[in-house]
Chain A
Amino acid sequence: MTRYILRRLLQAIPLLLAISIAVFALMQAIPGGPLAAYENNPNIMPEDLERLKDELGLNVPVHLQYFNWLTALLRGDWGTSLVTQRPTLVEIGERLPNTLYLSIIAFVIALAISIPIGIISAVRQYSWFDHVMTTIAFMGHSIPVFWFGLILIIIFNVTIKNPFTGGPLLPGGGMYTIGATASLEDRLTHLILPASLLVIHNLSGHVRYMRAGMLDVLLQDYIRTAHAKGLKERAVILKHALKNAVLPLVTIIGLEIPGLFNGALLTEVIFSWPGMGRLFFNSIERADYAVMMGVLMMSATLIIAFGLITDVVYAFLDPRIRFE
Chain B
Amino acid sequence: MRALVWRRFRKHKPAMFSAAVLALIVIGCVFVPLVLGYDPYNAPVELRRQPPALTHLFGTDELGRDLMMRIWVGGRVSLVIGVAAVFIAITIGTLVGAVAGFYGGKIDNVLMRFNDFMLSIPNLFILLIVAQLLRSLNLPEISGGPVPIIVIIGALSWMGAARLVRGQFLSLKAKEFVDAARIAGAKNNRIMWRHILPNAASPIIVSATLRVGNAILTESTLSFLGFGIQPPMPTWGNMLKNAQSQMVIAPWIAIFPGLFIFITVVAINYLGDGLRDALDPRHVE
Contact = CB atoms under 8 A, between A and B. Distances in A.
Contacts of A18: 117
A150 to B, nearest CB: 5
A300 B119 CA distance: 11
A150 B261 contact: no
B221 A261 contact: no
A151 B255 contact: yes
B254 A262 contact: no
A151 B121 contact: no
A69 interface: no
Contact of B247 (A153, A266, A285): A153
B266 A139 contact: yes
B23 interface: no
B125 A303 contact: no
Contact of A154 (B123, B247, B257): B247
A296 interface: yes
Q: Kindly name the residue among A26, A30, A139, A266 whose own CB sees the greatest number of chain B CB atoms within 10 A.
A: A30
A154 B262 CA distance: 17
A142 B262 contact: yes
B261 A144 contact: yes
User: Is the interface on chain B under 10, 10 to 19, 20 to 34, or 35 or more residues?
Assistant: 35 or more
A contact face: mostly helix, strand, loop, or mixed: helix
Given A144-B217, A150-B243, A26 B130 contact: yes
A29 interface: yes
A304 interface: yes
Nearest to B138: A31
Given A138-B266, A258-B120, A280 B247 contact: no
Interface in B210-231: 213, 217, 220-221, 224-227
Contacts of B176: none
Interface string A246-290: 000000000100110110011001100000000011001100000
A304 B116 CA distance: 11
A281 B127 CA distance: 11
B120 A300 contact: yes
Contact of A145 (B221, B254, B285): B221
Contacts of A292: 129
Contacts of B137: 31
B129 A284 contact: yes
A240 interface: no
A288 to B, nearest CB: 12
A66 interface: no
Contacts of B125: 261-262, 265, 280, 296, 299
A27 interface: yes
Nearest to A211: B285
Contacts of A281: 128, 225
Contacts of A154: 247, 251, 254-255
Interface of A: 15, 18-19, 23, 26-27, 29-32, 138-139, 141-148, 150-151, 153-154, 158-159, 208, 212, 216, 255, 258-259, 261-262, 265-266, 269-270, 280-281, 284-285, 292, 296, 299-300, 303-304, 307
Interface of B: 117, 119-126, 128-130, 132-133, 136-138, 213, 217, 220-221, 224-227, 237, 240, 243-244, 247-248, 251, 254-255, 257-258, 261-262, 265-266, 268-270, 284-285
Those 7 A-B pairs whose CB atoms lie nearest each other, nearest first: A147-B258, A261-B122, A262-B124, A142-B265, A142-B266, A258-B122, A150-B254
